[in-house]
A and B are shown apart, each in its own frame.
Chain A
Amino acid sequence: MKGTYILAIESSCDETAAAVVKNGREVLSNVISSQIALHTLYGGVVPEIASRKHIEKINPVVTEALANAQMTIEDIDAVAVTYGPGLVGCLLVGVGEAKAIAYAAKKPLIGVHHIEGHVSANYICHQELEPPFLCLVVSGGHTHIVIVEDYGTYRIIGRTHDDAAGEAFDKVARAIGLGYPGGPKLDKLAKEGNPEAIAFPRAHVEGCPYDFSFSGVKSAVLNYLNIAKMKSSAKGEAPAEGTEFCPEVFEDGITRADLAASFQAAVVDVLVARTVAAANEYGMERIAIAGGVACNSALRAKMREVGEAAGKKVYYPDPILCTDNAAMIGSAAYYEYMAGHTADWTLNAVPNLKLGER
């Protein structure tokens, strides 16, 4: 029997991506053109530079995705695209391209929420996973505990009150001189450190048992660095003005790796504790992790350990599907398409699209 083939496009941040996905679960091609090297020069993603790169890469990436799937546009049933949230200039390139392709090929158009895509990456990696389940969505812009009630139906039960977890990772990584992209570099360095070296705070949000706050732990790391810097400059060893202060070993014998590991442990502990508590409270037997931070090795290990100890089954996507990609968009789009949700030619980029909004 012929399946449903979706060509999906993703350009919400700094990856230009296209994929062909069968029946929402089987990836026939998954092409990602990353701009990380380019943005490293600037210490983070520059929206205008990213948008310019997307317009250069979009046609080659789409062409390659079709070629790798050994398909032409005629074989495709629908065209899907991320329309938010993300950087508006970047989103518009994908949206403009996807609309034009769908229009010219006379195919249905499906607008996909970027975060629903991240959640759906789990459907690709775990064929047996079906709603309902609990999902921790963690990325540079999101930290949500969500009940996935059905395909495309989400109930948010926990959220961050300040920084997203990924944002805290990036800021701390920058402060300790790791640069961009901070998350993966911090994860790597933390493997060499002692997570119990410094007891950073595990913040609770009063009255909201499943909410998060990461500004406290971030400030604690920055304070630790400042105090160390002051001690060091009192001894006349201060670094030149304008350079990062990040010695390999601090005066108290704590290493930079210990600092990274201790910070990471503080963030991971609360993410895991709240998620497992929420799963217990709402009677969820399955826990999934989604988003860029779902790549974090400590988070994956701790969620598995604590979740399984509580009798839960724990899921997370393969690393390649945790970063921004279009395969996950093709998966989410399939269920949108099955539910009869298609977009018209006025589809626009919505940079602050909320989860569950249409």
Chain B
Amino acid sequence: MKILAIDSSGQVASAALVTEQTVLAEYTVNFKMNHSQTLLPMIDELLRMTGTEGSELDALAVTNGPGSYTGLRIGSSTVKGLAMIWNKPVVAVPTVEVLAANYFGYDGLICPIMDARRGQVYTGVYRCDGDKLTAVCEQSCMLLSDMVEKLNSLGEKVIFLGDGVPVHKAFLTANVTVPFTLAPMHRMVQSAASLGFLAGRYYAEGRTVSAMELVPEYLRQSQAEREREERLDHRTNG
């Protein structure tokens, strides 16, 4: 089994080629560069370096949200185009789960935090049950204080990771009452190898979609839609 995994959901652009056993190649760039310009050249490099043809792949995987709206669509359009022409299924994995997979095997709670602006974070809570990564709390968009409250009530040690950690470090330090650790920088953000690892499991379980069906999970409406609904609510209630 060979899967090409692509993540452009956040600051990092990352691509990896994985089998069940091995990460054959991974290319990650965390530099102020446009994903639109870097992603396809990275994929090209990976495939050339490993002498892989698109036809040899079993599936393509993409980190499917939440994240930067534009970043998600760059990843999605790239995977949609590749998978359509190569005629391959697509594995779409939630971003927070991809992050949690960085700590697969950890013996406490894993809490990825992505900065969602407007005082909110994209977050969730995962735990490793033997050979399985299970969600204690599915990914959603919420106030960080609500997540901290939840973790404090769970009463277990926790590791935090994700691009929201540096942003909210002071808040976490001041408010988390359970033992906690912050991930080191080399496991802090999205990695296409982690995505590829999860994608292999999804693929084995038949959890795939077609290139046509693939649509990012934004977890939040656009600003215009939110404001319109608020106006309509206001009219019906007021």
Contact = CB atoms under 8 A, between A and B. Distances in A.
A301 interface: no
Contacts of A46: 222, 224
B159 interface: no
A101 B85 contact: yes
Interface string B34-65: 10111011011000000000100000000000
Interface in B189-213: 211-212
Interface stretch (A53-61, A233-241, A251-259, A322-330): A53-61
B70 A92 contact: yes
Nearest to B223: A48
Contacts of B125: none
Contacts of B74: 92, 96
Contact of B81 (A48, A96, A348): A96
Contact of B84 (A42, A62, A89, A99): A62
Contacts of A99: 40, 78, 81
Contacts of B228: 41-42
A95 B34 CA distance: 13
Contacts of A89: 69-70, 73
B2 interface: no
A13 interface: no
Q: How large is the interface on B (under 10, 10 to 19, 20 to 34, 35 or more residues)?
A: 20 to 34
A349 B35 CA distance: 11
Interface in A73-126: 73, 88-89, 92-101, 103-105
A346 B70 CA distance: 16
Given A46-B224, A49-B225, A60-B212, A55 B40 contact: no
A224 interface: no
B222 A58 contact: no
Contacts of B76: 55, 96
Contact of A100 (B41, B79, B216): B79
A325 B40 CA distance: 26
Contacts of B134: none
A93 B224 contact: no
Question: Majority SS of interface residues in chain B?
Answer: helix
B54 to A, nearest CB: 5
A92 B77 contact: yes
Interface in B137-192: none
B86 interface: yes
B82 A103 contact: yes
B27 interface: no
A63 B37 contact: no
Nearest to B88: A104
B79 to A, nearest CB: 7
Contacts of A97: 77-78, 80-81
A59 B76 CA distance: 11
A136 B182 CA distance: 60
Contacts of B36: 92, 95-96, 348-349
Contacts of A54: 73
B218 interface: yes
B215 interface: yes
Counting chain A CB atoms within 10 Å of each CB, the highest count among B40, B54, B74 belongs to B40
A51 interface: yes
A52 interface: yes
B77 A100 contact: yes
Contacts of A346: 37-38, 40-41
Contacts of B82: 100, 103-104
Counting chain B CB atoms within 10 Å of each CB, the highest count among A41, A62, A63, A92 belongs to A92
Contact of A103 (B34, B40, B211, B222): B40
Interface in A168-196: none
Counting chain B CB atoms within 10 Å of each CB, the highest count among A55, A62, A63 belongs to A55
A346 B35 CA distance: 9
Given A100-B81, A346-B41, 16 more contacts: A46-B224, A48-B222, A48-B223, A49-B224, A55-B76, A55-B77, A55-B216, A58-B80, A89-B73, A92-B70, A93-B77, A100-B85, A101-B85, A103-B81, A345-B40, A347-B37
26 contacts: A42-B224, A48-B223, A48-B224, A49-B222, A51-B69, A55-B216, A58-B80, A89-B70, A92-B36, A92-B70, A92-B73, A96-B74, A96-B76, A96-B78, A98-B81, A100-B79, A100-B81, A100-B85, A101-B84, A103-B43, A104-B54, A104-B84, A105-B85, A345-B44, A346-B37, A348-B37
Closest A-B pairs by Cβ, 5 of them? A100-B81, A96-B77, A104-B85, A48-B222, A345-B40
Interface of B: 34, 36-38, 40-41, 43-44, 54, 69-70, 73-74, 76-82, 84-86, 211-212, 215-216, 218, 222-225, 228
Interface of A: 41-42, 46, 48-49, 51-52, 54-56, 58-60, 62-63, 73, 88-89, 92-101, 103-105, 345-349
